[in-house]
């Protein structure tokens, strides 16, 4: 491995997921190992890949794994790291909401900035290149939160791309304040969000969804909803959304985050809904960690129902599905640290997504890039950006369980502490 520090040129021999290599000399015919990895030599100049060649010599087999920097399609930077002061030892959804609202009353520009910066630094060092964060956008300090996260979005642009989503009760979009918020969101190139989880007033929610989609259409602003994060009334929110979309055509991109209770439907109904989502090009973000922690609790017993977006069925119907980390050390989830390898490892037993399979890796890489509509999808080809993580491991099992050393390459440069904004 030759490293040219402080220059954005270099060459590296590494194992690369075959499913992410689009083009490369002598690579297409190269057999990959049982982990779906190909031994390749990759060279880059001025931050761009100039060549990808397969290594056929068994003496020179690489000692590292090279993967694209990850995409986090669903986070909450404004409340991250609040668990110690606002814990939710009961672990229920209801208690999480109650504690969240108490914590929200203490939010200031300073503490939101501190949390978001801490999150961004961890994300960058751990190998994340883009984050979509939802922001509590009603109540105390919501204006300040938008200011702070808007600042950080510009400041961190070349290191971690931020997308901001306004998280509000759905009916807020029907109010005058909602209209003002929507114009503010547009200025920050953000998305409109909201929560639709049962029990809800069907008529009122239908009206709110209609208004939200109309507003988004007018402003050309995409939507990302927290929908059906629940163990009751399976798929109720999704069915309502699909009903509204029969009347109002959407010309923007819609993401459904969670869709947890969909998995409690019959296979037949579930597949019908998945097909409809695919037809409408609605994308899905599955959030296995928070769902497994908060939902399906039966007193203190271990859950017997595990509401989680039915990833495999959705993918089979052609829906783009990403996996996100959601909450980090806040009342909704006590663990996490903006570490994509940890998310993959935790998610494996919950989702049964295996990184050695194309559709097991995509939710953390290409699908999430698609959901965030990023310029680069995370694949390898001549001209693709040198935006990678180098992991000292030669198999997925080692990469995801032994906490191996990792180095991050940002636009061709090896990440070093001088590149990380202070403050």
User: Which residue carries 């890796």 as its tokens?
Assistant: 361
Q: Which lies closer to Zn ion via its Cβ, residue 326 or residue 330?
A: 326
Cα 284 to Cα 254: distance, rounded to the nearest angstrom: 9
Cα 71 to Cα 320: distance, rounded to the nearest angstrom: 14
Measuring CA to CA, which residue among 113, 145, 110, 118 is closest to residue 336?
118
> Any idea what DSSP says for residue 302?
P
User: Which residue carries 């005058």 as its tokens?
Assistant: 176
Residue 8 in tokens: 């954005």
Q: Which lies closer to Zn ion via its Cβ, residue 72 or residue 326?
A: 326
Cα 232 to Cα 40: distance, rounded to the nearest angstrom: 49
CB atoms within 10 A of CB 422: 7
Q: How far is the CB of 332 from Zn ion (least distance, A)?
A: 7
Q: How far is the CB of 173 from Zn ion (least distance, A)?
A: 18
Binding-residue total with Zn ion (CB under 5 A): 1
Q: Which lies closer to Zn ion via its Cβ, residue 327 or residue 366?
A: 327
> Residues 202-241: x/- map of binding to Zn ion (CB under 5 A)?
----------------------------------------
Q: Which lies closer to Zn ion via its Cβ, residue 326 or residue 377?
A: 326
> Residues 295-334: x/- map of binding to Zn ion (CB under 5 A)?
-------------------------------x--------
Residue 349 in tokens: 């037993």
Cα distances from 99 to residues 103, 235, 357, 400, in angstroms, run 6, 26, 39, 33
Let me know: does 96 contact 294? Beta carbons within 8 Å.
yes
Instruction: Check whether the bond before 416 is cis (ω within 30° of 0).
Output: no
Cα 375 to Cα 363: distance, rounded to the nearest angstrom: 17
Let me know: does 321 contact 315? Beta carbons within 8 Å.
yes
Q: Which lies closer to Zn ion via its Cβ, residue 93 or residue 356?
A: 93
Q: How far is the CB of 295 from Zn ion (least distance, A)?
A: 13
Q: Which lies closer to Zn ion via its Cβ, residue 222 or residue 326?
A: 326
Residue 192 in tokens: 């409109």
Q: How far is the CB of 41 from Zn ion (least distance, A)?
A: 40
Q: Which lies closer to Zn ion via its Cβ, residue 103 or residue 326?
A: 326
Q: How far is the CB of 196 from Zn ion (least distance, A)?
A: 13
Q: How far is the CB of 258 from Zn ion (least distance, A)?
A: 7
Q: Which lies closer to Zn ion via its Cβ, residue 30 or residue 95?
A: 95
Q: How far is the CB of 22 from Zn ion (least distance, A)?
A: 32
Q: How far is the CB of 193 from Zn ion (least distance, A)?
A: 9
Q: Which lies closer to Zn ion via its Cβ, residue 54 or residue 194?
A: 194
Q: How far is the CB of 226 from Zn ion (least distance, A)?
A: 5
For residue 276, the number of C-alpha atoms closer than 13 Å in the C-beta half-sphere is 15
Name every residue whose Cβ is closer than 8 Å to that of residue 407 and which is 6 or more positions away in sequence.
Answer: 389, 390, 414, 415
User: Which residue carries 């929610």 as its tokens?
Assistant: 205
Q: Which lies closer to Zn ion via its Cβ, residue 78 or residue 370?
A: 78
Q: How far is the CB of 230 from Zn ion (least distance, A)?
A: 13
Binding residues for Zn ion restricted to 93-132, rule: CB under 5 A: none
**Footprint of Zn ion (CB under 5 A):** 326
């Amino acid at each position: 491995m030759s490293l040219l520090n402080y220059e954005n040129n270099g060459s590296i021999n590494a194992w690369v997921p075959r499913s992410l290599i689009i083009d490369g000399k002598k690579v297409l015919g190269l057999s990959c190992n049982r982990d779906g990895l190909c031994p390749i030599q990759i060279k880059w100049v001025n931050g761009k890949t100039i060549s990808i060649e397969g290594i056929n010599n068994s003496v020179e087999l690489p000692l590292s794994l090279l993967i694209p920097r990850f995409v986090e399609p669903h986070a909450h930077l404004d409340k991250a790291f609040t668990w110690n002061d606002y814990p939710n030892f009961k672990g229920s959804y209801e208690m999480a909401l109650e504690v969240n609202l108490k914590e929200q009353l203490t939010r200031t520009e300073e503490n939101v900035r501190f949390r978001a910066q801490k999150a961004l630094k961890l994300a960058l060092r751990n190998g994340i290149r883009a984050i979509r964060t939802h922001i509590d956008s009603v109540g105390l300090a919501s204006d300040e939160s938008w200011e702070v996260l808007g600042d950080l979005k510009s400041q961190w642009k070349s290191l971690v791309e931020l997308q901001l989503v306004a998280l509000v009760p759905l009916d807020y979009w029907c109010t005058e304040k909602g209209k003002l918020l929507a114009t503010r969101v547009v200025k920050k190139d953000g998305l409109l969000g909201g929560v639709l989880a049962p029990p809800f007033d069907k008529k009122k929610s239908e009206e709110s969804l209609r208004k939200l989609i109309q507003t988004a259409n007018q402003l050309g602003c995409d939507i990302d909803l927290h929908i059906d994060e629940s163990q009751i009334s399976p798929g109720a929110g999704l069915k309502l959304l699909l009903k509204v979309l029969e009347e109002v055509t959407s010309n923007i991109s819609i993401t459904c985050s969670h869709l947890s209770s969909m998995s409690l439907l019959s296979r037949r109904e579930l597949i019908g809904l998945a097909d409809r989502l695919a037809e409408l090009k609605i994308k899905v973000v599955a959030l296995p960690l928070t769902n497994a922690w908060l939902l399906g609790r039966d007193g203190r017993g271990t859950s017997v129902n595990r509401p989680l977006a039915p990833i495999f069925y959705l993918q089979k119907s052609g829906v783009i599905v990403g996996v996100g980390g959601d909450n980090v050390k806040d009342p909704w989830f006590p663990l996490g640290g903006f570490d994509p390898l940890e998310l993959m490892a935790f998610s494996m037993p919950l989702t049964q997504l295996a990184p050695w399979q194309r559709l097991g890796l995509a939710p953390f890489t290409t699908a999430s890039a698609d959901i965030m509509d990023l310029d680069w999808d995370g694949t390898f080809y001549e001209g693709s950006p040198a935006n990678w993580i180098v992991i000292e491991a030669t198999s997925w099992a080692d990469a995801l369980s032994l906490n191996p050393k990792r180095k991050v390459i940002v636009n061709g440069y090896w990440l070093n502490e001088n590149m990380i904004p202070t403050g």
